[in-house]
Amino acid sequence: MAREECKALLDGFNKTTACYHHLVLTVGGSADSQNLRQELQKTRQKAQELAVSTCARLTAVLRDRGLAADERVEFERLWVAFSGCLDLLEADMRRALELGAAFPLHAPRRPLVRTGVAGASSGVAARALSTRSLRLEAEGDFDVADLRELEREVLQVGEMIDNMEMKVNVPRWTVQARQAAGAELLSTVNAGPSSVVSVEERGGGCDPRKALAAILFGAVLLAAVALAVCVAKLS
């Protein structure tokens, strides 16, 4: 059905945009490299493909005059979410262009900011492209051509947004989101344990002595329990 298809496309687009956002965060930092720029390029191309297909689908549906009222409400909701997501993508692409131009990799004009992020981001890019793993090898001056491409693509996305607004008119105030405030707390079963661990880790600070003390205490406790068991057995 059209609604399921649009929802699936929108979900895919949303995922790719989130991954792109996550990759753009590290441009200019210590994890910046030609590989990262190539991953960015692949991610944003995938995002643009998805955007074009979602846009075409949604526009076709919303311009159809014979649509039932409740279906129209549903599609307008999807439309608002899609256009917001596209705005986010465009903003991130602009920032990537700015940061990429400010921190060029081919000629070390500016040293990269040492932010502490050192790992590879291929996992994120693989998630964006929906593949199992990603192995990229970019040439030494990949970012030069990439910036020109990026500029063109930013303008293309801007044009797409303008066309969208021209073709379909959905006033934002008439759309009611389906999820209420705080709805994210209801489905956070799998996010629980890892977040608790990360909070603790961050609060733990850099104190190995605390860990040592904890291990010693545990050992002493075990020894005490063993002794108590032996005493109980003997008596």
Partner 1 sequence: MAAGPAPPPGRPRAHMPHLTKMERVVVSMQDPDQGVKMRSQRLLVTVIPHAVTGSDVVQWLTQKFCISEEEALHLGAVLVQHGYIYPLRDPRSLVLRPDETPYRFQTPYFWTSTLWPAAELDYAIYLAKKNIRKQGTLADYEKECYDRLHTKISHAWDLVLMQAREQLRAAKQRRKGDRLVIACQEQTYWLVNRPPPGAPSVLEQGPGRGFCAASRVHMTKSADFYKQEIEYCRRALGRTRVKSSVCLEAYLSFCGQRGPHDPLVSGCLPSNPWISDNDAYWVMNAPTVAAPTKLRVERWAFSFRELLEDPVGRAHFMDFLGKEFSGENLSFWEACEELRYGAQAQVPTLVDAVYQQFLAPGAARWVNIDSRTMERTLEGLRQPHRYVLDDAQLHIYMLMKKDSYPRFLKSDMYKGLLAEAGIPLETKKRVFPFSWRPRHSSPSPALLPTAVEPTAAGGPGGGDGVA
What part of residues 154-183 is at the interface with partner 1 (CB under 8 A)?
154-155, 172-173, 175-183
Binding of partner 1 at residue 126 (CB under 8 A)?
A: yes
Q: Which of 118, 100, 88, 81 is nearest to 18 (CA)?
A: 88
Give the residue, chosen from 5, 56, 204, 217, that forms a contact with partner 1 under the rule CB under 8 A. Answer: 204
Give the residue, chosen from 68, 107, 166, 185, that forms a contact with partner 1 under the rule CB under 8 A. Answer: 185
Binding of partner 1 at residue 127 (CB under 8 A)?
A: yes
Binding of partner 1 at residue 24 (CB under 8 A)?
A: yes
Report the C-alpha gap between 220 and 216 in whole angstroms: 6
Q: Please report, as residue ranges, which positions from 51 to 90 form the binding site for partner 1 (by CB under 8 A).
A: 77, 80-81, 84-85, 87-88, 90
Q: What are phi and psi of 88, to 5 degrees?
A: -60, -45
Q: Measured from the CB atom, is 216 or 228 closer to partner 1? A: 216
Structure letter (DSSP) for residue 160: H
- Shortest distance, CB of residue 78 to partner 1, whole angstroms? 8
DSSP codes, 179-199 = S-TTGGGTT-TTTHHHHHHHH
Binding of partner 1 at residue 113 (CB under 8 A)?
A: yes
Stretch that binds partner 1, among 47-55, 112-120, 137-145, 217-225 (CB under 8 A): 112-120
Helix residue ranges per DSSP H, the chain: 2-24, 34-62, 69-102, 122-128, 142-167, 192-204, 208-234
